[in-house]
């Protein structure tokens, strides 16, 4: 549409949201679709967090909130960074936003000039590249594969750096691959970054607690990285609070100040009730959400077992988040039920049509050989979905 801006015309629709919409449409036609496309815990928000939100309503938290978040929420975030990550972020270094997605968008808008390059180890979270492009930055994808457990090596990082490199963005545990960088691997990347002091890092740690190996490492805590890292986190995944839309960042004070300025002209402070409830969530001991982590761990093992029985699925062992990211390129070039499978998008559409299971093409995450399957679904649904996929193939 030429009445619309180039900005929006050039933007890709979120593939995960598009797949969810397609699944909803098919359900509307009476089809029994199992949705394994969304990155959303299938648990309810724990009751103690709901109670905090109800109390906030009764206490009339109804006015505009401070743009960068309530002071006591920022204090709770600061304590959380210290408790979980051994990171010292003062209140002037923290900004609360409407989801980690907004934290990321704020960072891009305040850090990037036209043409600045942002290194994205691929596969990466679906929105990174479009957020970067919206800020007129240039995403530079660094492809990885199962051979390196979908992790970028120091050599690959070095090779991707140019005089225009401004930032590197990554998530660990990773959406979509579930890969977790250990300390040694991060230190390897840091050795390269040390030679290029102008490059900043966005460390998206929103899956930090959904880690089956334990021992989450924040790159900001590695020697030399604190002043050049922005640590992004939120309550969507760990506390099943996706719809309540609270995310936050910790970073250099000048970044926080700029993000606050930008947010102040854009959306203002995040939802007041959700912020109050987030204080309670972040102050709770991790033991309160351990049941979710244990359940995801069990399901990870189950889905790996089940998918392992399907010929042509090549899998890594994801150590965190709640996704598997099988390489299904062995199906490319085949024709099944009259449908030629040319790429991962064809494959995902094939599964939707003939297995009634919604997944997401890896192309959206910068990896054209894979599909992403979310196992944030009940064991019964997972068993049924995988048996349908097996039958359809």
Which residues sit at the interface with ligand PLP, rule CB under 6 A?
39, 99-101, 125, 171, 175, 204, 206, 234, 236, 242, 247
Going by C-alpha positions, the residue among 322, 346, 334 that lies closest to residue 238 is: 322
Comparing every residue's Cβ against ligand PLP, the nearest one is 99
Cβ proximity to ligand PLP, 39 vs 251, nearer residue: 39
Q: List helix spans (H) across the chain.
A: 6-9, 15-28, 47-58, 71-85, 100-111, 128-134, 154-160, 183-194, 253-264, 272-283, 290-308, 344-354, 379-392
Nearer to ligand PLP, 169 or 347 (CB): 169
C-alpha 47/C-alpha 39 separation (Å) is 22
- Spatial CB neighbours of 35, under 8 Å, sequence gap ≥ 6: 20, 23, 358, 377
- Residue 221 vs 320, nearer CB to ligand PLP: 320
DSSP 15: H
Helix (H, G, I), strand (E, B) or coil at 122: strand
Residue number with CB closer to ligand PLP (38 or 393): 38
Closest distance between ligand PLP and the C-beta of residue 39, in Å? 4
Could you tell me the smallest distance in angstroms from the CB atom of residue 15 to ligand PLP?
A: 12
Nearer to ligand PLP, 236 or 369 (CB): 236
Residues of the chain by 3-state class (helix, strand, coil), percent to 5? 45, 15, 40
Give the nearest distance from C-beta 233 to ligand PLP in angstroms: 8
In the complex, what is the shortest distance from the CB of residue 245 to ligand PLP, in angstroms, rounded to a whole number? 7
CB closer to ligand PLP out of 234 and 366: 234
Radius of gyration of the chain (CA): 21
The C-alpha atoms of residue 141 and residue 144 are separated, in whole angstroms, by: 9
Tokens of 88: 């010292």
CA dist 68 and 63 (Å) reads: 14
Least distance in Å: CB of 234 to ligand PLP? 3
Q: Which residue has the tokens 């850090």?
A: 111
| DSSP, res 270 | P
C-beta of 100 vs 168, nearer to ligand PLP:
100
Toward ligand PLP, which CB reaches closer, 74 or 101? 101
Tell the smallest beta-carbon distance from residue 126 to ligand PLP (Å): 8
Kindly state the smallest distance separating residue 204's Cβ from ligand PLP, in Å.
Answer: 5
Residue 371, SS3 per DSSP: strand
Angstrom distance (rounded) from CA 278 to CA 340 = 48
């Amino acid at each position: 549409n030429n009445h619309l801006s180039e900005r929006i015309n050039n933007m890709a629709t979120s593939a995960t949201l598009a797949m969810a919409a397609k699944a909803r449409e098919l359900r509307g036609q009476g089809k029994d679709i199992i949705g394994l496309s969304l990155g959303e815990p299938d648990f309810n928000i724990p009751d103690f967090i709901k109670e905090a939100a109800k109390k906030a309503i009764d206490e009339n938290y109804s006015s505009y909130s401070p743009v960068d978040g309530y002071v006591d929420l920022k204090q709770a975030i600061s304590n959380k960074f210290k408790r979980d990550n051994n990171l010292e972020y003062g209140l002037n270094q923290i900004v609360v936003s409407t989801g980690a997605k907004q934290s990321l968008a704020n960072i891009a808008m305040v850090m990037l000039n036209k043409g600045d390059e942002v290194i994205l180890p691929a596969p990466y979270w679906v929105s990174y590249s479009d957020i970067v492009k919206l800020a007129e930055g240039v995403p530079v994808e660094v492809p990885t594969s199962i051979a390196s457990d979908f992790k970028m090596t120091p050599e690959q990082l070095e090779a991707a750096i140019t005089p225009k490199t401004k930032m590197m963005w990554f998530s660990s545990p990773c959406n979509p691959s579930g890969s977790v960088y250990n300390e040694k691997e991060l230190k390897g990347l840091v050795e390269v970054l040390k030679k290029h002091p102008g490059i900043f890092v966005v460390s998206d740690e929103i899956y930090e607690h959904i880690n089956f190996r334990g021992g989450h490492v924040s790159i900001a805590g590695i020697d030399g990285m604190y002043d050049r890292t922005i640590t992004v986190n939120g309550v969507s995944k760990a506390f099943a609070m996706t719809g309540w839309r609270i995310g936050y960042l910790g970073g250099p004070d000048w970044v926080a100040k700029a993000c606050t300025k930008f947010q102040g002209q854009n959306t203002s402070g995040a939802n007041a009730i959700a912020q109050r409830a987030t204080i309670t969530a972040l102050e709770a001991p991790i033991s309160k959400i351990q049941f979710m982590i244990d359940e995801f761990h069990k399901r990870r093992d189950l889905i790996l077992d089940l998918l392992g029985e399907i010929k042509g699925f090549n899998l890594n062992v994801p150590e965190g988040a709640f996704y598997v990211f099988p390489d299904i390129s062995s199906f490319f070039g085949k024709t099944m039920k009259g449908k030629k499978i040319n790429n991962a998008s064809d494959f995902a559409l094939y599964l939707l049509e003939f297995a009634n299971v919604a997944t997401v093409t890896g192309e959206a995450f910068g990896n054209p050989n894979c599909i992403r399957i979310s196992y944030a679904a009940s064991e019964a649904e997972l068993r049924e979905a995988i048996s349908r996929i097996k039958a359809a193939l």
